[in-house]
């Protein structure tokens, strides 16, 4: 995202001269990430630093696009605002457990996928009534605004679960603990982080492929191709495996470390 601090006259002069301004020193890349998904995108309230697999992938991509740590700015983008933030160009990229879907592709250009997650279901540790997605019929599930996950249950599979609209995944866990909902059904990478250190259990019955893409403003094809080249390198040089192991080795998940088939930028 270019935030040039130029006096108007200087900007006009450069524009008239047809000078290329970039990449100028004051250029920065603004990347949308999650703030409440441990293991993927988490903002440390004390240090104000983001960390997790998505954040680390974002840093690696930025580096390969020519943006070192001092020129990368992270911005919290909950599921409900991702398309709007890209459309408004408040962010250049989104790396935030963002599944590529046909509907989203009409509004967003996606690089990747950089990982294929699978939807599973998290319940309270002592709840034996839910063994797979079909058991969610009649149950209250977390419906995070802007997320695809609850639709996979109710709309795609026609399971009569009641979605309880909730702004973020962090709030879903508060509601599960408080008994206000019965289950959180979403991507296994998210659930692994949410379950850690809690009295909660993943039922281990995956039922979708969630192709995690890098979101770009619709039509930003040149940068999308550059991101795909970066992702290829990140897999080829072992970085992806290192990051996946770093964040998910102890999760019990069977993580895949080969590069997914790219969808192609459009």
The residue (of 149 and 239) whose beta carbon lies closer to ligand GLU is: 149
CB of 44 to ligand GLU, least distance (A): 20
Whole-angstrom distance, CA of residue 32 vs CA of residue 108:
14
Whole-angstrom distance, CA of residue 74 vs CA of residue 92:
10
Near ligand GLU by CB under 6 A: residue from 77, 97, 228, 239? 97
Chain positions 190 to 209 lying near ligand GLU, rule: CB under 6 A, are 190
Asked whether position 121 contacts ligand GLU by CB under 6 A, the answer is no
CB of 15 to ligand GLU, least distance (A): 38
Whole-angstrom distance, CA of residue 43 vs CA of residue 33:
9
Chain positions 25 to 84 lying near ligand GLU, rule: CB under 6 A, are 79
Site string for ligand GLU, 141-170 (x = CB under 6 A): ---x--xxx---------------------
DSSP bridge partners of 200: 124
DSSP E strands in the chain: the ranges are 29-33, 36-37, 41-43, 50-51, 72-76, 93-94, 108-117, 119-124, 140-144, 162-166, 183-187, 200-202, 210-217
Whole-angstrom distance, CA of residue 266 vs CA of residue 57:
22
3 state DSSP class of 104: helix
The residue (of 60 and 187) whose beta carbon lies closer to ligand GLU is: 187
The residue (of 111 and 144) whose beta carbon lies closer to ligand GLU is: 144
CB of 140 to ligand GLU, least distance (A): 18
The residue (of 91 and 144) whose beta carbon lies closer to ligand GLU is: 144
Asked whether position 120 contacts ligand GLU by CB under 6 A, the answer is no
Cβ neighbours for 197, distance < 8 A, ≥ 6 positions apart: none
CB of 70 to ligand GLU, least distance (A): 28
CB of 16 to ligand GLU, least distance (A): 44
Q: 53-64 vs 221-236: helix axis angle to the nearest 10?
A: 110
Strands 162-166 and 140-144, by their bridges, are: parallel
Asked whether position 210 contacts ligand GLU by CB under 6 A, the answer is yes
CB of 6 to ligand GLU, least distance (A): 37
Whole-angstrom distance, CA of residue 181 vs CA of residue 163:
9
Near ligand GLU by CB under 6 A: residue from 92, 135, 187, 220? 187
Place of tokens 């997605």: 133
- What residues line the site for ligand GLU (CB under 6 A)? 79, 96-99, 144, 147-149, 186-187, 190, 210
């Amino acid at each position: 995202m270019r935030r040039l601090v130029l006096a108007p006259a200087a900007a006009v002069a450069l524009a008239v001269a047809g000078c290329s301004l970039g990449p100028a020193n004051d250029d920065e890349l603004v990347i949308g990430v999650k703030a409440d998904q441990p293991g993927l995108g988490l903002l440390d309230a004390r240090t104000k630093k983001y960390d997790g697999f998505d954040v680390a992938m974002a840093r690696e991509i930025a580096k390969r696009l020519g943006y070192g740590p001092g020129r990368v700015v992270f911005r919290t983008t909950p599921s409900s605002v991702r398309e709007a933030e890209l459309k408004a160009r408040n962010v250049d990229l989104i790396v935030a457990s963002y599944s590529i879907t046909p509907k989203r592709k009409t509004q967003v250009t996606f690089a990747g996928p950089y990982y294929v997650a699978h939807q599973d279901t998290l319940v309270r540790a002592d709840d034996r009534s839910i063994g797979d997605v079909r058991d969610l019929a009649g149950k209250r599930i977390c419906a995070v605004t802007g997320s695809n996950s609850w639709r996979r249950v109710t709309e795609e599979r026609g399971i009569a679960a009641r979605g309880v609209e909730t702004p973020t995944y962090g709030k879903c866990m508060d509601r599960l603990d408080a008994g206000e909902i019965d289950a959180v059904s979403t991507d296994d990478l998210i659930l692994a982080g949410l379950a850690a250190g809690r009295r909660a259990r993943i039922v281990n019955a995956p039922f979708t492929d969630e192709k995690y893409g890098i979101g770009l403003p619709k039509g930003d094809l040149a940068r999308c191709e550059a991101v795909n080249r970066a992702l290829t390198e990140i897999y080829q040089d072992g970085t992806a495996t290192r990051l996946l192991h770093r964040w998910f080795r102890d999760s019990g998940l069977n993580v895949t470390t080969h590069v997914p088939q790219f969808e192609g930028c459009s």
